[in-house]
Amino acid sequence: MYKATSNEYLANGVIVTPANPETYEHVTIVYNGLLSKAGATELYAHVGFGSDWQGNQDLRMIRTKSGYEATITAANAESLNVAFKDRMDNWDNNSGSNYIFNIEQ
């Protein structure tokens, strides 16, 4: 499975800070991608950890000057997986590949 180790999804409007989170570190997800550009007024980050999306949940994102934001705590897993959806159930999942970030162990 491919995992990003930096903010290489910037062109899609997806940024995580820190770019290479460590286990149990707070991670801010910023989204200013396809759904927000299409006028979505309510966005959710669908997040999970590891190859099987452990602990997956939908987090309502808060609109900011940078886009939509949510903060999570990185789990003890090899990756953070993210996809985005609006309240009409339209998805941005990176063309089926999702947005996957390495978690430093």
| Residue 10: strand, helix, or coil | helix
Would you mind telling me the total number of residues written for the chain in this entry?
105
**Mind listing the pLDDT tens digit for each residue in 26-82?**
999 999 999 999 999 999 999 999 999 999 999 999 999 989 999 999 999 999 999
- pLDDT category, 6, cuts 50, 70, 90? low
Cα(72)–Cα(54) distance, integer angstroms: 14
* In the predicted structure, residue 86 carries a pLDDT above the cut 80: yes
- Who wins on pLDDT, 24 or 1? 24
Q: Quick one: pLDDT at residue 101?
A: 92
Q: What is the pTM of this model?
A: 0.91
